[in-house]
Amino acid sequence: MKPNCTNPEWIGRAKCAVCDVRNFVLFAGLSVPELDAILQPIDNLHAAPGAVLYEQGAPAPSVYTVRSGLIKLKVDLPNGCQRIVRLLRPGDVVGLEALVGERYHHSAIVLQDADICRIPREVVIRLDQTSPQVHQALLQRWQRSVDQADHFITALSTGSAEARMARLLILLGCTVTDSDFVFPSREDMGALLGITTETASRIVAEFKRRGLVHMDKGSYIGCDQGALSRLADS
Amino acid sequence: MKPNCTNPEWIGRAKCAVCDVRNFVLFAGLSVPELDAILQPIDNLHAAPGAVLYEQGAPAPSVYTVRSGLIKLKVDLPNGCQRIVRLLRPGDVVGLEALVGERYHHSAIVLQDADICRIPREVVIRLDQTSPQVHQALLQRWQRSVDQADHFITALSTGSAEARMARLLILLGCTVTDSDFVFPSREDMGALLGITTETASRIVAEFKRRGLVHMDKGSYIGCDQGALSRLADS
DNA sequence: CGTTATGTTGACCTCCTTCAAAGGCTGTGG
DNA sequence: CCACAGCCTTTGAAGGAGGTCAACATAACG
């Protein structure tokens, strides 16, 4: 068995040179020698749901890239409530604020079994300065964060609770490539959409009754994309 | 009268070397010779409320820096509604997506008399590659966009309409340095907070009755920051 | 001075929250 | 294997917050 990031058994030093997602994550475009020079401080992590990558307000020494799984970025509000402001999926970069600031702005928590690379900020800063490709990729990731935040405003924080839920399911449905996909908890759905847990539960239950989503014992099977899209545009 | 960006009469070629906001906008850190080399294609614009810098989906040739005034970024939703996803103020950069993409993602519209510099994307891209200071400033501006978007999610799209309005007034209150500050229309407030125009009007009227905000014929005078903060944290 | 946008207010009703209780799944220990 | 606790989901009932539609007031403007 050769060490390979795609092997779930293998945790530890990342081998980005043989990493399947290398081509669409941060280091796309680097040559193998370039990669070797910076691989040492990079760690590959496998995290189960509930694992915390970092906490809001904590010192920010590292940036993370998501190789598989699903991560939520959560903000604690002054009144004690919580709001999820982003969902991060394979190819996304987490904690970019580490490159320009001292502390993380959110708490990053694993929602679905995740394979993650942790990269010291100094490594990324140096690469950003020496490699035009990495630099360009970095700008694109930053813009991607902005786009995702905008999507949370326009799609998940606007309109009726039903329409928001339909849009969330469409967003999540895009990730259904592996069959072990599981729904977020109703509580997380509420925090994603700015509604209560009960309302989230009611709407999902109603969708199931209407045949818009199919699931067996909590695990996702499929959904009626057309009907959901119609609800989303209402 | 020497040509100076801070002179409202003077519109046209920007003289960033003598620009008062140079030190806190994009080109901070550049030497005067460096500035001279890239000033030619930069235009200084003075825009009245309602002016459109660019439209959502249009080709994106330029980036803008805000020297004074207030700009809104608006998104048109599939159902015909509109949502404001950001407010941009002096020191902010507008249309960063031009640097990594072909088209603008929002419509940028002037809310309050604005003084703006329009910079061709090629100029910024070149500076980004040649000047470490500009490069660093660019990353910070991008992160700032993310932070502002997050703030729209957590502060202006979460909680009761009353609490959102209080947070919006606090946000706007920070800009009250000049006395010609004017409130956004109730319609814009609704689009900012994800509520209807009528609800926005009701809440503002109620705030005025309760003495939380003071205004004379639509022009802002002052507000009770303490009481607003208490409402915002409810 | 009429005309048109914008702000305000009322009445009604829908949607969502709140509080409460019941049902289901999982793990643990007897 | 069963009993029980704990957590999450579901559902109910009541109330309130906000949307909708309409009328009216006020300011802006030619």
**B52-82 per-position pLDDT tens digit:** 999 999 999 999 999 889 999 999 999 889 9
CA of A72 to C1' of C27 (A): 27
**Which nucleotide comes closest to B187 if you measure CA to C1'?**
C6
Report CB contact under 8 Å: B153, A157: yes
Angle between helices A161-173 and A197-209 (to 10 degrees): 70
What's the pLDDT score for residue B34?
65
Closest CA in chain B for residue A231: B79
- From chain B, the residues in CB contact with A129 under 8 A are 132
**What is the least distance, in Å, from the CA of A81 to any CA of chain B?**
9
Report CB contact under 8 Å: A150, B85: yes
Question: Alpha-carbon distance B180 to A7, whole Å?
Answer: 63
Report CB contact under 8 Å: B158, A81: yes
Q: Which of A106-115, A178-187, B102-111, B207-216 has the lowest mean pLDDT?
A: A178-187
Q: What confidence tier does B8 reach under pLDDT thresholds 50, 70, 90?
A: very low
- Detail the protein residues whose CB sits closer than 7 A to any atom belonging to strand D: A 183, 185-187, 197-198, 201-202, 204-205, 208; B 160-162, 194-196, 198-199, 217-218
Share in percent of chain B as helix, strand, coil (round to 5): 40, 25, 35
β-pairing verdict for B52-54 and B82-88: unpaired
What's the pLDDT score for residue A174?
58
Q: What confidence tier does B2 reach under pLDDT thresholds 50, 70, 90?
A: very low
Q: Regarding predicted confidence, which is higher, B12 or A103?
A: A103
Closest CA in chain B for residue A132: B129
Q: Which of A10-19, A118-127, B39-48, B206-215 has the lowest mean pLDDT?
A: A10-19
CA of A75 to C1' of D4 (A): 36
Q: Regarding predicted confidence, which is higher, A152 or B19?
A: A152
Q: Which residues pair with B94 in a beta bridge?
A: B64
Domain spans in chain A, listed from the N-terminal domain onward: 2-156, 161-232
Place of tokens 């599981």: A182
When pLDDT is averaged across residues B153-172 and rounded to a whole number, the result is: 96
Report CB contact under 8 Å: A154, B83: yes
Query: Candidates 3.90.650.10, 3.40.718.10, 2.60.120.10, 2.40.30.10; correct CATH number of B2-156?
Result: 2.60.120.10
What's the pLDDT score for residue B3?
39
Q: What confidence tier does B91 reach under pLDDT thresholds 50, 70, 90?
A: confident
What's the pLDDT score for residue A105?
98
Q: Which of B51, B53, B40, B52 is nearest to B12 (CA)?
A: B40
What's the pLDDT score for residue B220?
74
Please enumerate residues of B whose Cβ is less than 8 A from a Cβ of A: 75, 77-79, 81, 83, 85, 96-97, 99-101, 105-106, 129, 132, 136, 138-140, 142-143, 145-147, 149-150, 152-154, 157-159, 194, 232-234
A116 to each of A128, B206, B225, how far by Cα in Å? 20, 50, 44
CA atoms within 13 Å, Cβ hemisphere of A10: 14
> CATH for A161-232?
1.10.10.10
Query: What single DSSP character describes residue A167?
Result: H
pLDDT exceeds cutoff 90 at B203: yes
Tens digit of pLDDT at every position of chain A (234 positions): 334 444 444 455 555 655 555 544 566 666 666 666 655 577 888 899 999 999 999 999 999 999 889 999 999 999 889 999 999 998 899 999 999 999 999 999 999 999 898 988 988 898 888 888 888 889 999 999 999 999 999 999 999 999 999 999 999 985 555 556 788 999 999 999 999 999 999 999 999 999 999 887 667 778 888 999 999 998
